[in-house]
Structure formats: C-alpha cells, structure tokens
Copies of this chain bind each other. A is one copy, B any other.
Amino acid sequence: MSGNTFGTLFRITTWGESHGKGIGVVIDGCPSGLDLDETVIQAFLDRRRPGGSSASTHRREPDQAAILSGVFDGKTTGTPIAIMIANKDADSSAYASLADIYRPGHGDISYQAKYGIRDWRGGGRASARETAARVAAGAVAGLVLDRMGIRVTSWTRELGGVRAMLTDMDEIFRNPFGCPDRDAAARMAARVEEVRKRGDSIGGIVEILATGVPAGLGEPVFDKLDADMAKALMGIGAVKGVEIGDGFDAASRLGSENNDPITPEGFTSNHAGGILAGISNGDDLKIRVAVKPIPSISISQQTINTRQEPVALSIKGRHDIAAIPRINPVCEAMVRIVLADHILRQQSAVR
C-alpha cells in the first residue's frame, strides 16, 4: 500500500479525490527561510486552469490554494507545509450513471480490482484533478530552484498529430496551446475543433527544459536524475512515454554521432539531455513526454459494468479534448520537485 509520497528530502504527500472535500499536499523537507504565501502557488495553479485553451473544458474550477501550516511571518519555517485546494463545485450527479460502469481507458476497472471499492464520483483519486496538488507542490519546489537560478519551462511539441517547430519560444505564453510555433498553434486549434465535433479526443507531446542546472545532481545507481524524472513524469495520469535528451532517436544513431564532445568551454552538443550516468553534467535538461488522448469521449464505446455485462458507453457532458496544455504545468511541477529533492540530497554530500 502507500504510494502517495514522492521524494526523499523534498518530500510531498498528496491526498484527495475529484469530488470529495478537496485535494491537498503536505510538503515535508522544504528549507526554512524561503518567502512563501498563497500568491506564489496561485500563479502556477492558474496556468493549470481550464478555459484558457479550446482544448480544455470550460468547467468552472477556481482552484484556490490555502496554506495551512509551515509558514510564519511570510517565511517557510522548515516544518511541513500543508496546502489545501477545496472542491467547490463538485457535482457528482453526472457521474451517478457511471457508478457501475468501467469506462475504457480509465482506472475504474483496475482500481476496483485493487481495492474492491472505488469512489466513482469524477474518477475519485484517479482524476486529473489530483495533479493540482502536484502543481502547488511544484510552486514551492520552485523556491528552492530560484535560489540557484534554475529555470524550468515546457511547451507543446505536438498535439493531435500537429507538430510544432521551435520557431519562437515567447509564443509559448501567447497562444492557448503553450506552443512555440504560431502556425502550428493555429493548426492545433483547427484540429481540436474538428475532433471536438466528432466527440473524440487527442494526445500529444510535451517538452520540458531546465536551464541553470548545476552538474552533480542525481544519485547512482537507482536514484539517477533521469530515473527519478522518468518516474515523476510517467506517474502523471496520461503519460505513456518519457525520453531524456534524444530519447528513442538515440537508438538509431552511431556512438560517434550521439556522444556529446567536451571542450574547455563545455559540451558542443546536448544529445544526452544534460545527464550522464544519471548525474547532471551542467548542460540543460531536456525531457519529452508522450501524452495519450483523453479517454472520456462521447463516441460510443464497448465496455462492461460491474456485473460483467456488456454495455455501450457514450460519455456525455463537457470534457477536455486533450490533456495538453493543462498537463504542461504539471510536468514542469514534477521536474521542479525532482530537482529540488536532488539539490537537497546533493547538499548532504561532503563540503
């Protein structure tokens, strides 16, 4: 059992269900003396809000974070920081008809197998709503990174088969898809509309970049920086693949192409994605994740109910068409949390 805690020294424990009283996180191990109030967290939560993008629902979901402990006079005290985000408008009635049906692509059937009981309201613990707690924790982790000048950003590299080029990184904050390619963003919008009309959904690829990462982070041989990143990101609901640096492209390359030459001024390329033998090498971290299509679609699907009878299911109501771009700040948050943890771990080394 267990499994709702992540990290060794910067350690987060999350709780909550989609339609329960709220969701929350306890952050244990945050250094003392950092400036923190709700606005720091809110800025990140707002990026995860629906409505900004036409790929996302218009459901009202204010997501207001309350800090319940660990902060005194505007500074972290070194004791656990508890943050809660109350569920305000959870209306479970739409889910009542799903109480005894296993939705394809969702965790309904696996949760039932595991626990013999499941909170079917809004997906319960398996809801993407859970990730709001991660975003809140990531905001706090960011305070640890800020001190060192580390910056984490993310963007949509692909959505519904539309691939973006890295034409203008400022574009990320201008279009609703977090896409660094204005033309691609326009095609993504069209793709989303087309899919929405069909009652279907789409997936995509998110890229995360961390700059300013010092060399030396990561613990061989199991808690490698890339291994912990892989766990952190694969553990986000819709993620089905994780790549470090060139990832799967490296598989078809020659060693002479893939090795990053070293000069007194640094590496001349970054196929490795900033990690060698599981330890950061001082170059930028480059990570890519594959996001599957949202499983809730209105197109009719074949499934069964809890009595093992066949059922045709069409999921009504407003749902996100894609986890992207709402998942992007979640990916960033997990990367920040992993980095904060490994920064603290490395601090424990000899000085």
Contact = CB atoms under 8 A, between A and B. Distances in A.
Interface string A230-266: 1111110100111111111111111111111111100
9 contacts: A4-B221, A13-B80, A14-B221, A15-B79, A22-B68, A31-B348, A104-B261, A226-B240, A256-B297
Contact of A110 (B84, B276, B293, B310): B276
Contacts of A252: 158, 160-161, 203-204
A309 B258 CA distance: 22
Given A117-B33, A251-B203, A261-B302, A279 B110 contact: yes
Given A2-B11, A4-B28, A277-B106, A293 B347 contact: no
Contact of A15 (B70, B104, B295): B70
Interface string A9-43: 11101111100111110101111111000000000
Interface stretch (A54-62, A171-179, A212-220): A212-220
A162 to B, nearest CB: 9
Residue of A219, A232, A310, A349 with most partner-chain B CB within 10 A = A349
Nearest to A119: B72
Contact of A105 (B115, B258, B346): B258
Contacts of A151: none
Contact of A4 (B110, B220, B228): B220
A281 B113 contact: yes
A194 to B, nearest CB: 11
